[in-house]
Amino acid sequence: MRFRASLIAALCWLILPAPVPACSLGPSYLQRSNFELVRDTGAIALARSLRLEKRQDGHSQIVFEVVKTIKGSVAEKTLSVTGNTNWRGASDPADFSTCRPGAGTGGCIAYDYRLGRLFLLFLEKHEEGWEVWMSPFSRVNEEVEGEDAPWTRAVIQYLRIAELGTAGGQKEALRALMVREHGVPGLSADVERHFRSPHGSKSFEDLEAIYERAENDDTRRRILWAYANGQHSKAATFIRDLIGSGDLSTFIEPVSGYVETLHDARAAASLLDRFSDLALDGQSRWAVFRAIAEASDDSVRGDMVALLKTVSDEETRPLTKYFLRHPDPAAIAELVRRQAGDRVEKSDLTLSLAALGDPGTVTWALSAQKDAGDQRWISCYVLAISPLEEADQAAVGILRGTDAPAQKWLVEGYGYSRSGKRIERLIQAFKKYPENEAFRRSVHHALEQLAWQDDREAQEALKGLPRPASK
């Protein structure tokens, strides 16, 4: 199965944006301040934990009685959220700087609850119902004594300020909160932390002020990530100057993140020009490759081909994404040279060549379809993702036939496809076996993969297809 793992990894780098696992926090993650948490959450409820139940999928959930809705509209009298009763303790009621200990056990938010106690739940709505908002290491489900508890009162104060009409008005009210008598222990210190904490939702001017006061490079990196996460175009001149400075190596990852996120072609060209002068580790190299592949325009195509010839086989993955937008025969020839005819062991290169529309790769896939070997699924993926008409015609033949394994592999491949017929083929596959819920789930998942890539056709197709039954 290592071949498939390699292929899926290559697919993700080629087609998807930078992957964001459910709770695998990279350096770009910036935690919201507690004010921002209150401002941005959809609903907040004071609720009492009643009992532990088992769901049909085998996971446990806690049933809550809603005592009072603090923000938003929670019409339900009871809520069921993912959780267990392996209680690991509460936070200091007068210190809002951290969340309760259960968040540090691997789930990024706490899933442990005591029964019969009150919790202030920050909620988001899913198709299946309400769940605690997945905001890592934030105070989204703290135990409280009631409406008069310090944390509850702080949240109500923040909510009042969040409802003000302008960001300027919110800042003025927060600063006033720091100096007036409010009787909430820990609140003034928490407001002060808000003004020191970089996050993408803050204005460029506020982040710039935090940068000017920063005392170390770690804080400066976080502010640069905030520029990227918040897509602050006003920071472009500063980022371009930083690329040309001697400090680039120190801040290479957030700078690359900014270039990638804002698709700054001018900055990307400068980053590409500086790359050979930098001594970078593997993670930093990949950050640069993602940035220049995503943001560079056609004017640097020759330089990108030259760079492609110098990197490792694995590092061709992010660079190939550039050539999906700016095709070049020399890039295809370089990948063919590296592959040296080994379509299976170098399945990541096989995929790259298929996505780039290499005819030789499709010819190989058509031949491999006749082979009953264990790696035939690779050829199905190739036929699904290739934009060539010959590949699509072969895929149609598979979908019309009775080869169930090949049909499943084809559907999986369409989740990363470059074919202009990918949505049409997935809908065709969905309708083929109306009683086969497992197969229809695979089709639905492939459409979701495309929808996550902002594929509007896939998003519309999902609206028109019935959701398959769960396992």
DSSP string, 351-414: HHHHHTT-HHHHHHHHHHTT--STTHHHHHHHHHH---HHHHHHHHHHHHSS-HHHHHHHHHHH
| Residue 1 predicted with pLDDT over 50 | no
The vertex-311 CA angle with 305 and 316, nearest 5°, equals 70
What's the pLDDT at 16? 47
- Provide the pLDDT for residue 127: 77
In this predicted structure, what is the pLDDT of residue 21? 38
Residues 6+ apart with CB under 8 A from 179: 188
DSSP 94: T
Q: Which is it for strands 43-54 and 78-82: parallel, antiparallel or unpaired?
A: unpaired
Write out pLDDT tens, residues 257-277. Answer: 999 999 999 999 999 999 999
- β-strand partners of 142: 120
> Using 50, 70 and 90 to split pLDDT, how confident is the model at 94?
very high
Q: How many angstroms separate the CA atoms of 471 and 86, rounded? A: 27
Write the pLDDT tens digit of every residue in 427-458: 999 999 988 999 999 999 999 999 988 899 99
Contact call for residues 82 and 64 (beta carbons, < 8 A): no
Question: Closest Cα to residue 155, out of 210, 90, 88, 93?
Answer: 93
Mean pLDDT score of the chain, rounded to an integer? Answer: 91
User: What's the confidence (pLDDT) of residue 350?
Assistant: 94
Nearest to 108 by CA among 118, 120, 100: 100
Query: Measured between alpha carbons, how far is 219 from 316 in angstroms, rounded to an integer?
Result: 32
Domains of the chain: 1-24+336-471 (1.25.10), 34-196 (2.40.50.120)
For the chain, give the longest Cα–Cα distance. 79
10 vs 95, residue with greater confidence: 95
Please say whether the beta carbons of 115 and 128 come within 8 A. Answer: no
Q: How confident is the model at residue 376 (pLDDT cuts 50, 70, 90)?
A: confident
Considering only CA atoms, which of 42, 37, 128, 118 is closest in space to residue 82? 128
pLDDT at 255 over 50: yes
Looking up tokens 């197969």 gives 439
Q: How are the residues of the chain apportioned to helix, strand and coil, as percentages rounded to the nearest 5?
A: 55, 10, 35
pLDDT at 97 over 80: yes
SS3 283: helix
Q: Is the pLDDT of residue 87 over 50?
A: yes
The per-residue pLDDT for range 458-468, each reduced to its tens digit, is 999 999 888 88
Other C-beta atoms within 10 Å of 162: how many?
A: 19
Q: Model's pTM, two decimal places?
A: 0.88
Cα dihedral 338→343→345→348 (10° resolution):
70
Q: Which tens digits make up the pLDDT trace of 129-154? A: 899 999 999 999 999 999 999 999 99
Q: Mind listing the pLDDT tens digit for each residue in 165-180? A: 899 999 999 999 988 8
pLDDT at 78 (0 to 100):
96
Res. 469 pLDDT band, cuts 50 70 90: confident
Region 64-72 average pLDDT: 96
